[in-house]
Amino acid sequence: MTPFIETEGLSHVYLRGTPMETTAVRDVTLRIQEGEFIALIGPTGSGKSTLVQHFNALLKPTTGRVRVGGRDLSDPKTDLHAIRHEVGLLFQYAEYQLFEETVDRDVAFGPRNMGLPEAEVRDRVRQALEAVGLDPVVFGPRSPFTLSGGEMRRVATAGVLAMTPRVLVLDEPAAGLDPRGRTDILGEIRSLHARGGITVVLITHSMEEAAALAARVVVMDEGRIVMDGPTREIFARADELHAIGLGVPAVTALARDLRDRGIRVRTDVLTFEEARGTIREALGWS
Amino acid sequence: MELSRFVTIGQYVPRESPVHRLDPRTKIAAVTSFMVVIFVVRDFVGYGLLTLFLLGMIALARIPLGFVLRGLRPIIFLLLLTVVLNIFFSGIDGGTVVFRLWRLTATREGIVRALFIAYRLILLVGVTSLLTFTTSPVELTDGIERLLRPFRRIGVPAHELAMMMTIALRFIPTLLEETEKIMKAQMARGAVFDRGGALRRARALIPVLVPLFVSAFRRADELALAMEARCYRGGEKRTRMKELRFARRDAAALVLTVVASVIFAIPFTVWQRLAP
C-alpha cells in the first residue's frame, strides 16, 4: 500500500544565508499510511512543528521531497490549496487565530475558502461544532472573544474539522488546558479517528497521551527521527527516551520500578488497566 | 515563508567583535558624524573613501556583506524613484544633453547628481544598519537615554522615551513571528493572500490583522502587569545592572571617527591645492 504522506530525505533550514541560520529538520524520511494514528514526540526544539508544516506545504523543504496522496509538493503543477483541504493542520495555541464576529462564521472560514455551497457550509459548521462538544445553537451566534480559553480552542479545532480533511495534524491540542478540557478534546480526537477512519498525527509532550491514543510513535531529537515504531515497543526503550529528555507513561515507569524491586510484573504496560492486571497477577490476586 | 528574512533593517546580529564592544554612545556619535559627512561630501574621491571605510567597519564587525546589502531591498523602489526624478528634474539649466525622452531632457550633470543622491541613500542605510547590527536594542536605547539626559531640564522625558523605544524594538521580531504564525494558520484553513485585486487582497488580511491586534493588546497588557509587579515606576532614582562605561577604545574610536570625517569632508581639489 502506498503511503498517503511520504517524506524523503527532508531537511529544513530556517533563515538560510543569514547569521541566524538554523537547521530545524535533518534528513527525515517518514511514511504515513491512511488511517494511522501517530504520536510525534520529542523535546522542545526537536523539529516536530517544522516537520508537520511540510505536510500541507506551508513550508517548502530546503532539500528532499514531500508527497501527499501521490502528488509531489515541489511540483509547480500541484494545487497546494487542494492539499491544504486534505491535510488539516491545527497549530499550537490555535485559539489565537479566531477573528470573526461569531463562532459560526469563524468555523465557516475554511469551508467557504473551499468554495462550497452555503447549505453545505452550514451543515459542516454544525457537524464540526458538535464534534468538538459545543452546542451549535448556543455557541454558534456568540462572539468567539467572549468564550473561555478551552472553548476557543475547541472552536479553532472545529474550524479545521469543518474542512473534513483526510489527515488531521494536531500540534499540542491539549497544551495549557485544564484536566477536564484535556480529556474532552483528546476524547473527541479519539472518537473522530475511530468513527471516520481519519488519519491523525498528534504532536504531544505527554507520554500518557501518546500511549493512550496512538498505535505508532515517532520520536524526534535535534531535527532527526531517532525512533519510529509501535507504541509498546517505543515505550519499552525507556533508557533511550530518558537520554534525550523524554520519558515513559507513569504506569510504565511504575511497572519498571516494581520489576526492579523484584516483583514479577510485565514492564510493557501502557494503560492503567494493563498495569492493574499485571500487578494483580504478580501478587497472585487474580 | 519567513518574514524576518525580508526585514533585516533594525536587526541585531550578536557577534564578538571590536565594533560590538564599543559603548553605544560612541557608536551613535560616530554614526551621526558620518551621516553629516555623507551630506557634505561632494566628489567621487570622498565617496570612495567613505565606502572603503564603511566596508572596513563591516568586516571588523564580522557582519556578512550580503546581510547588509539585503537591508537595501526595502528601499530599492525609493532608490529608483530618486534616480529617475533627479535625472529629469534636477533643475540644472544647460549642461551636456545626453538623451531626450518626450519633453524631458537628461543632462550629464543631472545623471551624475542623481547617482550621487542615490548612493548617498545607500551609504546612509549602510551606516545606520551597521549601528543596529552591532548594538543590541537595549544598549541602543541606554545610549540614547544617556545622550538625552542633559535635555531633561527642558522637559524631555529621556527615560520614558528610551523605555518606549526599547519596548517597541523588542516587540518587532515578536510581532513578525506572530504575524507569520497567524498567516500560516489561516493558510491552513484555505486563506489566499496573493491572489485577486487590491480590494480582495486587503480583505484577505482581515483574518490576520484581527488576531494580531487582539494579541498585541494582550501582550501590552501582560507586559504592563509584569512591569508593575516588579515595581517599575519610571526613571526616578533607578539604578542599572549594566552601567555604560566610556573606555579607552571608545576614545580611540571617536578620535578615528573625527579624523576620518574631516579627511572625507574636505574636497579632493582642496587636498591637491595643499600638496606642494
Task: Mark which residues 220-259 of A lie under 8 Å from B by CB.
Answer: none
Q: Which helix (H) or strand (E) holds B63?
A: none
Mean pLDDT score, B254-265: 88
pLDDT digits (tens, 9 = 90+) for A135-149: 999 999 999 999 998
Pick B185's closest partner by Cβ from A18, A97, A145: A97
CA distance A37 to A217: 9
Whether residue B37 contacts residue B50, with contact meaning beta carbons closer than 8 Å, is answered with: yes
Pick A91's closest partner by Cβ from B64, B185, B191: B185
Q: What residues of B are in contact with residue A94 (Cβ under 8 Å)? A: 185
Q: Which residues contact B274 (CB under 8 A, 6 or more apart)?
A: none
| Domains, chain A | 5-231 (3.40.50.300)
Q: Which helix (H) or strand (E) holds A203?
A: strand A199-203
Q: Is the pLDDT of residue A229 over 60?
A: yes
Q: Is the pLDDT of residue B194 over 90?
A: no
Q: Is the pLDDT of residue B225 over 70?
A: yes
Q: Is the pLDDT of residue A176 over 80?
A: yes
Closest residue of chain A to B13, computed from CA coordinates: A19
CA distance A104 to A143: 9
Mean pLDDT score, B209-221: 93
Task: Mark which residues 128-167 of A lie under 8 Å from B by CB.
Answer: 145, 159-160, 163
Q: Do B188 and A109 touch (CB under 8 A)?
A: no
| pTM to 2 decimal places | 0.78
Residue recorded with cell 509584569: B226
pLDDT-derived band at A236, boundaries 50, 70, 90: very high
Locate the domains of chain B by residue range: 3-135+246-274
**Contacts by B28-35 with C-beta closer than 8 Å and gap 24+?**
B28/B131, B28/B140, B28/B143, B28/B144, B28/B147, B29/B254, B29/B257, B30/B253, B30/B254, B30/B257, B31/B127, B31/B128, B31/B130, B31/B131, B33/B257, B33/B258, B33/B261, B34/B127, B34/B257, B34/B261, B35/B124, B35/B127, B35/B128
CA distance A64 to A58: 15
Whether residue A174 contacts residue A134, with contact meaning beta carbons closer than 8 Å, is answered with: no
Whether residue A202 contacts residue A210, with contact meaning beta carbons closer than 8 Å, is answered with: yes
Q: Which of the residues A18, A79, A80, A84 would you substitute to probe the B interface, choosing the one with the greatest number of B C-beta atoms within 10 Å?
A: A18
Q: For A30-99, give the DSSP string.
A: EEE-TT-EEEEE--TTSSHHHHHTTTTTSS--SEEEEEETTEETTSTTS-HHHHHHHEEEE-TTGGGG--
Mean pLDDT score, B10-27: 86
Mean pLDDT score, A192-198: 87
Q: Which of the residues B17, B189, B209, B222 would you substitute to probe the A interface, choosing the one with the greatest number of A C-beta atoms within 10 Å?
A: B189
State the average pLDDT for chain B.
85
Mean pLDDT score, B174-183: 90
Mean pLDDT score, B170-190: 89
3-state secondary structure (DSSP) of residue B247:
coil
Closest residue of chain A to B191, computed from CA coordinates: A113
Q: Do B185 and A85 touch (CB under 8 A)?
A: no
**Contacts by B233-240 with C-beta closer than 8 Å and gap 24+?**
B234/B159, B234/B160, B235/B145, B235/B158, B235/B159, B235/B160, B235/B163, B238/B159, B240/B142
pLDDT digits (tens, 9 = 90+) for A68-119: 998 999 888 888 889 999 999 999 989 889 999 999 999 999 999 999 999 9
Chain A nearest C-alpha distance from B207 (Å): 6
Q: Is the pLDDT of residue B93 over 70?
A: no
Closest residue of chain A to B2, computed from CA coordinates: A15
